[in-house]
């Protein structure tokens, strides 16, 4: 923050620097440089995003009230954020009443410690996991491994990512960057006792994973999940998924530990009516997802008998404190914005360096973890990883105005960056442009650009910082005459008179025809 003085509130803490998975090790353009050369990634992403875009448009287009649903989704989330503290306390009360235990985690470090303590208390050294963004965000798996607890991801794509010691690259399809041959290799190398004759047929690969996981489901006594929604009114938690692995984790073990970002709370049970329509249609392009699991505290004799809910802040209150940026907390993690984003489609999820890639990641990550936590913080490049084309805003089921948030975060970045060469250039440009006489003089100066143009008027090389531009684009040399000098010239005056004369002629002709 630039300055603090008496009477100003302190900013709520962001996710602590150096913890979790909310920051890459290099800026977006550098990371994208490598990813853009990954033909497999480009091909997979191009195909997958194109397919899912078409599916989404089909199932959203068929609903006559889709726009009204988006409005409702946006309104419910906005209302939720406006009274988040009271809703969270209500949720805590209801979960506790129904036999669950609620824990509050200020950040990822605290959440990891709480989960570790709870797992250790069961005596188990293994946990099975439901695909969860929150636990990915805080690096729970890495933490558990460091204390001798083995986490097993049970979502097929997460399992592939985990076995490959890799990171997810998509919110919904974490292994989107892998092909079936790679997956076969990963399974042959990492799954104990796998059939060495395993081929690359998707059904066979899935069967191999299934056999491996089934044994884990049957024997592991603790599960860790995230949550798509937590209902304050009833204390009900909900997970939506496709494969049924979630259902297994949520029902079979004795102990269930759910890590939920505090923004996932919804006021009423009835609100699910809106979100269970918005989420699957926006996410997988399905009318309904195959499995929706809901549980409220503990039900004696049925399902886990020990239930813990860990409410995770990790920078969310900091985001909530931002009048404009808080809108990003409305996100329901459907990934529709990733699938329509032309930047994501080419650069892929790893280029963003965070658990949250794509357009929503570019606005959420800097708010959760900050943009200037260290010198040259890679997160400061995220708001610029967009052409501001606006496709994400149109696709978002809760109408988050991501382009405006990106522009806002760019502003916050320049405000926090002090004096930079870019800022000086922008100031200089504004100084010239606010004085019409200086502007006209500068336009004449631009005419000098004609000298660097080739005989055909093409400029094919430009100095930094424009060399990246001229690498693949010619630039026309500035024309001899600006528009304003043409307009002031005899030629311009004559052209405008002729155009007006043509109108008069046409008008008279029409009158005569009448």
Nearer to other proteins, 244 or 501 (CB): 501
Task: Compute the distance between CA of residue 479 and CA of residue 470 in angstroms, rounded to an integer.
Answer: 19
Smallest gap from residue 514 Cβ to other proteins (A): 17
* Buried/exposed code over 328-338 (b: 16+ C-beta within 10 A; e: otherwise): bbbbbbbbbbb
Nearer to other proteins, 19 or 335 (CB): 335
Alpha helices in 356-514 (DSSP H): 358-369, 391-395, 402-416, 421-434, 436-446, 449-452, 467-472, 483-488, 490-513
CA–chain centroid gap for 376, Å, is 21
Nearest CA among 224, 412, 413 for reference residue 312? 224
Smallest gap from residue 506 Cβ to other proteins (A): 8
Nearer to other proteins, 311 or 392 (CB): 392
Nearer to other proteins, 267 or 449 (CB): 449
Nearer to other proteins, 269 or 384 (CB): 384
Backbone CA torsion sign across 186, 187, 192, 195: negative
Smallest gap from residue 319 Cβ to other proteins (A): 18
CA–chain centroid gap for 361, Å, is 3
Q: Where do the DSSP E strands lie in 62-125?
A: 101-105
Nearer to other proteins, 244 or 479 (CB): 479
Nearer to other proteins, 153 or 377 (CB): 377
Enclosing H/E stretch for 92 = helix 84-97
Smallest gap from residue 301 Cβ to other proteins (A): 54
Smallest gap from residue 224 Cβ to other proteins (A): 35
Please provide the distance, in angstroms rounded to a whole number, between the alpha carbons at the two ends of the chain: 72
- 8 A C-beta contact, residue 264 and residue 318: no
Smallest gap from residue 466 Cβ to other proteins (A): 6
- 8 A C-beta contact, residue 480 and residue 450: yes
Smallest gap from residue 172 Cβ to other proteins (A): 21
DSSP string, 111-124: HHHHHHHHHHHHT-
8-state DSSP, 238: E
Nearer to other proteins, 290 or 447 (CB): 447
Work out the angle at residue 158's Cα, subtended by the Cα atoms of residues 156 and 164, and round it to the nearest 5 degrees: 105
Smallest gap from residue 304 Cβ to other proteins (A): 45
């Amino acid at each position: 923050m630039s300055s603090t003085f008496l009477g100003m509130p302190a900013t709520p803490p962001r996710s602590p620097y150096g913890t979790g998975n909310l920051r890459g090790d290099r800026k977006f353009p550098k990371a994208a440089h490598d990813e853009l050369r990954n033909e497999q990634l480009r091909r997979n992403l191009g195909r997958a995003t194109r397919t899912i875009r078409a599916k989404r448009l089909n199932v959203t287009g068929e609903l006559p009230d889709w726009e009204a649903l988006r409005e409702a989704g946006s309104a419910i989330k906005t209302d939720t954020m406006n009274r988040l503290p009271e809703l969270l306390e209500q949720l805590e009360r209801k979960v506790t009443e129904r036999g669950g235990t609620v824990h509050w985690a200020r950040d990822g470090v605290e959440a990891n410690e709480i989960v570790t303590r709870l797992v250790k208390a069961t005596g188990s050294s293994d946990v099975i996991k439901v695909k969860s963004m929150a636990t990915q965000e805080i690096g729970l798996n890495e933490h558990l491994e460091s204390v001798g607890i083995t986490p097993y991801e049970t979502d097929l794509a997460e399992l592939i990512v985990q076995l490959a010691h890799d990171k997810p690259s998509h919110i919904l399809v974490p292994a989107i960057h892998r092909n079936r041959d790679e997956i076969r290799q990963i399974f042959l190398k990492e799954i104990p006792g796998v059939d060495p004759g395993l081929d690359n047929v998707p059904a066979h690969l899935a069967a191999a994973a299934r056999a491996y996981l089934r044994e884990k489901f049957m024997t592991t006594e603790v599960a860790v999940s995230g949550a798509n929604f937590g209902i304050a009114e009833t204390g009900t938690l909900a997970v939506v998924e496709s494969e049924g692995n979630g259902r297994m984790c949520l029902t079979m073990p004795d102990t269930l530990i759910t890590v939920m970002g505090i923004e996932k709370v919804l006021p009423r049970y009835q609100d699910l009516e809106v979100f269970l329509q918005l989420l699957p249609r926006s996410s997988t392009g399905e009318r309904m997802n195959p499995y929706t699991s809901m549980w409220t505290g503990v039900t004696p004799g049925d399902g886990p008998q020990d239930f813990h809910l860990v409410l995770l802040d990790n920078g969310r209150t900091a985001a909530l404190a931002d009048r404009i940026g808080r809108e990003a907390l409305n996100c329901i993690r459907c990934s529709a914005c990733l699938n329509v984003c032309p930047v994501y489609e080419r650069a892929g999820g790893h280029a963003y360096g965070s658990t949250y890639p794509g357009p929503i990641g570019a606005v959420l990550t800097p708010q959760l973890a900050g943009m200037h936590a260290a010198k040259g913080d890679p997160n400061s490049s995220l708001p610029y990883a967009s052409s501001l084309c606006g496709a994400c805003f149109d696709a978002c089921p809760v109408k988050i105005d991501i382009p405006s948030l990106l522009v806002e975060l760019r502003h916050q970045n320049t405000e926090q960056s002090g004096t930079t060469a870019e800022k000086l250039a922008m100031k200089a440009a504004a100084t010239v442009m606010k004085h019409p006489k200086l502007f006209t003089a500068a336009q004449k100066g631009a005419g000098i650009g004609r000298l660097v143009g080739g005989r055909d008027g093409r400029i094919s090389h430009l100095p930094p910082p424009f060399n990246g531009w001229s690498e693949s684009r010619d630039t026309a040399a500035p024309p001899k005459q600006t528009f304003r000098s043409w307009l002031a010239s005899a030629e311009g005056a004559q052209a405008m008179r002729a155009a007006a004369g043509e109108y008069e002629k046409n008008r008279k002709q029409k009158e005569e025809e009448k």
